Amino acid sequence: FGMCTFYLIFLNFILNIGVRDTGVRRWWEEERYPEGIKWKFLEHKGPVFAPPYEPLPESVKFYYDGKVMKLSPKAEEVATFFAKMLDHEYTTKEIFRKNFFKDWRKEMTNEEKNIITNLSKCDFTQMSQYFKAQSEARKQMSKEEKLKIKEENEKLLKEYGFCVMDNHRERIANFKIEPPGLFRGRGNHPKMGMLKRRIMPEDIIINCSKDAKVPSPPTGHKWKEVRHDNKVTWLVSWTENIQGSIKYIMLNPSSRIKGEKDWQKYETARRLKKCVDKIRNQYREDWKSKEMKVRQRAVALYFIDKLALRAGNEKEEGETADTVGCCSLRVEHINLHPELDGQEYVVEFDFLGKDSIRYYNKVPVEKRVFKNLQLFMENKQPEDDLFDRLNTGILNKHLQDLMEGLTAKVFRTYNASITLQQQLKELTAPDENIPAKILSYNRANRAVAILCNHQRAPPKTFEKSMMNLQSKIDAKKEQLADARRDLKSAKADAKVLKDAKTKKVVESKKKAVQRLEEQLMKLEVQATDREENKQIALGTSKLNYLDPRITVAWCKKWGVPIEKIYNKTQREKFAWAIDMADEDYEF
Ligand SMILES: *[C@@H]1O[C@H](CO)[C@@H](O)[C@H](O)[C@H]1NC(C)=O
Ligand SMILES: *[C@@H]1O[C@H](CO)[C@@H](O)[C@H](O)[C@H]1NC(C)=O
Ligand SMILES: *[C@@H]1O[C@H](CO)[C@@H](O)[C@H](O)[C@H]1NC(C)=O
Ligand SMILES: CC(=O)N[C@H]1CO[C@H](CO)[C@@H](O)[C@@H]1O
């Protein structure tokens, strides 16, 4: 018996080692570093650059004003970016064309500049057709060719896709640098069409530890700089030329560095849960303040809390499309209705939020908020700031005073997470089956997405995929009708013959009907889900605002496989939560 126990322990030991070696790194069980220190050792291979430009074959012609013209390599490369987008609405937009043409001319030789003076006289059709044929050919590739490409990608991933951070091999999120092209931006971005430059080694800052092997730049090139800063988490950085923002290569969400930050975020939101009542009482008091600044701050805070608005003013003025957040709301963005649709004190919001997504909402507010808004709007023009005594800096400072680590985003995270938890409690029926439970989960998730204004345009493929699903449902219904008919006649036979063989037939026909009923129900649930999901993006809230431990606890409690809710990438990102939370977890 002793020997047996020993073997069991030994076996367990081997299995554990095995799991830990090949599986995920259980960083959440490791000791934390001192505040501010992100790593002790960091070594990586640097970025993978976009492949060099391949000139077009001689047979592909460009025409200017009806005449063939051979472009210099640089001008040709930029022309191909435009040609590749020819079918896109962008290339008809005036700002896009203007920006593109200005940047394109910078790449031309003097001779080309003298000839090409009018974009409308440029004919990119042959180029466009050539790229379409190429992409068609890629689709028609043989299995062997596809496999070869896959293997090359895997090789690249193996070499550049991982770094060594403190004795652990960690996956890098984005080790490939985006190829050059034309900037698109969202909404009516004033910079759309501008040339997004090719990033060169000379643009690149490398960060690694002093005792690591510094990655070598491509032959004939040099890095801009090599740093050894263990207070930052990035491996590689550069400045992109459109908005002048700094880009980084970072670790994958499944890494310790990203996971810890994520975990911290939800812990901060849980701290807010404990003091949110006090904060609410405070701002309600402040609505009566003698100081205008305090009143404005209190009303803005109410919006952030109640509507999950972003703080705003986060971007450089004039640099981007005209989008606003709470602090940068203008008088023209709201309408006050003392009464609307049977409700009192309604504020109608209409503005472009982050990523140019329209925020439209009619919300009844408390009388005091309403009166304050009337006061803030007195004697102002539509384009004046609603909160003229407030900016994001002041508001953020105030939030820090209320609770350490508090930002507008924490309110969003708190509200989204607590709403999910409440909705799941409300919507989950204990006796419904797994597909119905998943529908309930998605409905709870949708409630949160609506709250956070995570809308989307219905996907282009929506109608088609809905039709496909509908025809599957119709086919299933027919099968079911047939099966029911079969069952009926089998039953009739059994009544007459009364022998064991026909009884058996009845049983098997019954099972077939049941099976088809279940399959039909599953398809119908899927259709409901997809229809309800038409204009809502669940991904953003799932990935960024919902404490994954709530979901994990729900899955464990109701026996729903976690794979049904989180796909592989998401499971990797939330490995810490999947391991930590049991079914009793409360946000
Ligand atoms: C550019 O070319 C188009 C098409 O030939 C023409 O209609 C337009 O007037 C030209 N614009 C200028 C500024 O010459
Ligand atoms: C979350 O936001 C909604 C929408 O404004 C609000 O009605 C609700 O009270 C908030 N819930 C919590 C717990 O903060
Ligand atoms: C998982 O879902 C996300 C969207 O939330 C998607 O971007 C990603 O590609 C999916 N991953 C896999 C492996 O299906
Ligand atoms: C040791 C070293 O090179 N430290 C530098 C790391 O990078 C930061 C800026 O991110 C510099 O301030 C340090 O001097």
| pLDDT given at position 12 | 45
| pLDDT for 357 | 76
**How many angstroms separate the alpha carbon of residue 90 from the centre of ligand 1?**
19
In whole angstroms, how far apart are CA 326 and each of 378, 397, 400, 415?
A: 19, 15, 17, 17
- State in Å: Cα 568 to ligand 3 middle: 7
Residue nearest to atom 6 of ligand 1 (CA): 120
Angle at 492 between CA 488 and CA 493, to 5 degrees: 115
Distances (CA, A) of 312 to 304, 341, 392: 10, 30, 6
Q: What is the pLDDT of residue 206?
A: 95
Give CA–CA dist 412/401, Å, rounded.
18
Tell the residue number behind the tokens 């050894």, with chain if given: 228
Quote the mean pLDDT of the chain.
89
Please check whether residue 280 is in contact with residue 291, taking contact to mean a CB–CB distance below 8 angstroms.
no
Q: Can you tell me the mean pLDDT for 327-336?
A: 94
DSSP 3-state assignment of 581? coil
Per-residue model confidence as pLDDT tens digits over 227-242 = 999 989 899 999 999 9
Q: Of 28-37, 119-128, 239-248, 408-417, give the lowest mean pLDDT range.
A: 28-37
Total H helices, total E strands in the chain: 18, 15
Which two tokens mark 55? 């000139």
Candidate from 64, 118, 122 with most ligand 1 atoms within 8 A of CB, to mutate: 118
Closest CA to 163 of 227, 206, 224: 206
331 pLDDT band (50/70/90 cuts)? very high
Kindly give the number of the ligand 1 atom that is closest to the alpha carbon of 65. 5
Q: State the pLDDT at residue 169.
A: 87
- Do residues 295 and 307 make contact, with C-beta atoms less than 8 angstroms apart? no
For the chain, how far is it from start to end, CA to CA, in angstroms?
45
**DSSP secondary structure string for all residues of 112-157:** HHHH---GGGEE-HHHHHHHHHHHHHHHT--HHHHHHHHHHHHHHH
Q: How confident is the model at residue 4 (pLDDT cuts 50, 70, 90)?
A: low
Pocket of ligand 1 (CB under 6 A): 118, 120-121
For 436-451, how does the pLDDT look when each residue is reduced to its tens digit (9 = 90+)? 899 999 999 988 888 7
Cβ 512 vs Cβ 504: under 8 Å: no
CB count within 10 Å of CB 249 equals: 24
Amino acid identity of residue 222, one-letter, is: K
Q: Which atom of ligand 3 sits closest to the CA of residue 567?
A: 1
CA distance 171 to 158: 10
Other Cβ atoms less than 10 A from the Cβ of 416: the count is 27
Is there a catalytic annotation at residue 545?
Answer: yes
- Which residues in 324-359 are b (16+ Cβ under 10 Å) and which e? bbbbbbbbebbeeeeeeeeeebbbebebbbbeebeb
By CB atoms closer than 10 A (0-12, 13-18, 19+), residue 182 is buried
Backbone angles phi, psi at 181, to 5 degrees: 175, -165
Question: Is 10's pLDDT higher than 60?
Answer: no
Q: What is the pLDDT of residues 288-299, one digit of tens each?
A: 999 999 999 999
Give 236 Cα–ligand 4 centroid separation in angstroms. Answer: 13
118 CA closest ligand 1 atom index: 1
Q: Are 435 and 523 in contact (CB under 8 A)?
A: no
- Residue whose CA lies nearest to ligand 1 atom number 13: 118
Q: Which residue has the tokens 């998943």?
A: 438
Contacts for 146 with CB less than 8 Å, ≥ 6 apart: none
CB atoms within 10 A of CB 489: 12
Mean pLDDT over residues 174-183, rounded? 94
Catalytic residue among 302, 545, 566, 585: 545
Query: Residue 168: pLDDT band by 50, 70, 90 thresholds?
Result: confident
User: Which residue's alpha carbon is nearest to atom 3 within ligand 1?
Assistant: 120
How many angstroms separate the alpha carbon of residue 423 from the centre of ligand 2?
Answer: 12
| Residue carrying the six token digits 């949160």 | 448
C-beta of residue 445 within 8 angstroms of C-beta of residue 421: no
DSSP assignment string, 261-280: HHHHHHHHHHHHHHHHHHHH
Backbone angles phi, psi at 238, to 5 degrees: -160, 165
* Gap from CA of 46 to ligand 3 centroid (Å): 26
pLDDT bracket for residue 317 (50, 70, 90): very low
Residue 313: pLDDT band with limits 50, 70, 90: low
Residue 318 clears pLDDT 50, i.e. is over it: no
pLDDT tens digits for range 477-520: 999 999 999 999 998 888 888 888 888 999 999 999 999 998 99
As given in the structure block, the two tokens for residue 70 are 């051979």
